[in-house]
Chain A
Amino acid sequence: NAGVTQTPKFRILKIGQSMTLQCTQDMNHNYMYWYRQDPGMGLKLIYYSVGAGITDKGEVPNGYNVSRSTTEDFPLRLELAAPSQTSVYFCASSYLDRGLGYTFGSGTRLTVV
């Protein structure tokens, strides 16, 4: 059982470049989330989705975009990378409601130089 799979594990981007962080889950979870984690700042919600075709902004959505065309996949797009987007990104999913606990992926460490 793979759970939540994120790719790539590491990436270095130059300022202004674009990239997509991939996230897929095989648990048939309705809810999916993207977080970033910075030292001393905790986990910040970027975007979330309650089902295929439905997405909504979290606390820190600026500079990011998402789509949810299938239940399984929830990619995160960075259009014009900035140094402030250097962070560790986590994708997570939950079955019905965010109060029951999340399954997280292993993260993508992104550095923008």
Chain B
Amino acid sequence: TQLLEQSPQFLSIQEGENLTVYCNSSSVFSSLQWYRQEPGEGPVLLVTVVTGGEVKKLKRLTFQFGDARKDSSLHITAAQPGDTGLYLCAGLRAGNNRKLIWGLGTSLAVNP
């Protein structure tokens, strides 16, 4: 059972389009992290969100943490080929069992 579901699994869009990817769970998280991984490289941390309802912006990327801290979304405005990669979310479970749970990722291809 995957505790952190990411959708869609694959996404192929044209340069300039907008997109949103999702990270959903039935569990509550203390914090949630988003990473981007390019082929042949390790994941690179984009942002950490810690407060329910929190919105963080990183240039054309907007991250939102759900009010109940069970889900998150990543919105990219005017996607560029450099945005291509695997987007991973990871949530730190709330409570005593502070385990970091990883999603399987959304593979994004932005075509010129």
The residues of A with any CB-CB pair to B shorter than 8 Å are: 4, 40-43, 45, 90, 92, 97-107
Inter-subunit contact B31/A106 (CB<8 Å): no
Chain B residue contacts of A92, Cβ below 8 A: 42
Q: How far is the CB of A14 from chain B (nearest CB, A)?
A: 24
20 contacts between A and B (CB under 8 A): A4-B42, A40-B104, A42-B2, A42-B105, A43-B43, A90-B42, A97-B98, A98-B92, A99-B30, A99-B48, A99-B92, A99-B100, A100-B48, A101-B45, A101-B48, A102-B33, A102-B43, A104-B44, A106-B40, A107-B40
* CB interface residues, B 55-112, toward A, < 8 Å: 88, 92, 98, 100, 102-105
Interface residues of B (CB under 8 A from A): 2, 30-31, 33, 35, 40-45, 48, 50, 88, 92, 98, 100, 102-105
Residues of A within 8 A of B102 (CB): 42-43
Given the complex, which residues of B lie within 8 Å of A90, measured CB to CB? 42-43
**A101: chain B residues within 8 A (beta carbon):** 33, 45, 48
A42 engages B103 (CB within 8 Å): yes
